[in-house]
Amino acid sequence: MSAQRKRTVVLISGRGSNMTALIAAASDPAFPAEIVGVISDKADAAGLGVAKARGIATQVISRAGHGSKQAHDAAIDAALAAFNAEIVALAGYMRILTPGFVQKWQGRMINIHPALLPAFKGLDTHARALAAGIRIHGCTVHFVTPEMDDGPIIAQAAVPVMVGDNADTLAARVLKAEHQLYPLALGLVAEGKARMAAGRTVLAHFADDADNATSVVMAPDPLREEADLEHLARITP
Ligand code: GRF
């Protein structure tokens, strides 16, 4: 496995808890991706310290240091080339990437979004979910395409909206699911079990569990134990 592990660079802007989950998963030599670098557009991103402490190479590439969005993304692209990156994982990277950059990495760049897409694209997803009164919320990992939060869905995890939730309690519940889902989705992409073709995600090669492949993918074990669908049905009014 180790010879084929996909070289993955994580792009962050802040806290980096999803980055940390990816690094933790990839610390297992059997995981199909290795995290070879972390790039931040913010010098004060808390995630940089976490990555360094785990021995991961970090780089700050700030927008201010570049004359245009294109020049900024070109610098990121050059850094990715220097890392020999094969996969890019956006993890709380708070900038819209330019179409040329996105097209270059299409099918090899993934993002995590804190809502069940295509609902609640954009920011403040938890407050908007509460305002809409939905009872099931969650998170999505998708391939990145030029339009924001619009690319083909790779995997999703659902959590209940509880009576009495506020945006913070709901965000915390979703974040826990994010930390399960993102390593699962990165693993699928790195293994070639999820790939992008003709604008869609193709899930394939689940030879070890051909009959139940999709349901296994969509319900990572730790999440299923905590909140299986039957349980969700009972606790959501
Ligand atoms: C996460 O909720 C992620 O889904 C969203 O931004 C947040 C980043 O959090 N894109 P962290 O930096 O991974 O802790």
* Mean of pLDDT over the chain: 90
Report if residue 230 sits inside a domain.
Answer: no
Position 216 confidence tier, pLDDT thresholds 50, 70, 90: very low
CATH number at residue 36: 3.40.50.170
pLDDT tens digit string along 164-190?
A: 999 999 999 999 999 999 999 999 999
CA atoms of 16 and 47, how far apart (whole Å): 4
pLDDT tens digit string along 126-166?
A: 999 999 999 999 999 999 999 999 999 999 999 999 999 99
Strands 33-40 and 6-12: parallel
Residues 64 and 130 in one domain: no
The answer on pLDDT for 53 being more than 90 is: yes
> For 131, how many CA atoms within 13 A lie in the half-sphere containing its CB?
6
CA atoms of 10 and 18, how far apart (whole Å): 9
CA of 12 to the centre of ligand 1 (A): 9
CA atoms of 205 and 126, how far apart (whole Å): 35
Report if residue 129 sits inside a domain.
Answer: yes
Residues 92 and 177 in one domain: no
Q: For residue 28, give both structure tokens.
A: 């297992």
Residues 71 and 118 in one domain: no
Residue 173 Cβ inside 6 Å of ligand 1? The answer reads: no
Q: Which amino acid is at 194?
A: A
- 113 flagged as catalytic: yes
Domain count, the chain: 2
Q: Compute the chain's Rg from CA coordinates.
A: 18
CA atoms of 61 and 95, how far apart (whole Å): 12
Residues 99 and 131 in one domain: no
Our CA angle for 152, 153, 158, nearest 5°, is: 160
Predicted confidence at residue 205, as pLDDT, reads: 73
Report if residue 234 sits inside a domain.
Answer: no
The parent domain of residue 88 ranges over 1-105
Residues 169 and 98 in one domain: no
109 is in an annotated binding site: no
Residue 14 Cβ inside 6 Å of ligand 1? The answer reads: yes
Residues 177 and 100 in one domain: no
Residues 53 and 117 in one domain: no
The stretch 202-227 carries a mean pLDDT of 55
Residues 6 and 101 in one domain: yes
Name the residue with tokens 């709901």: 170
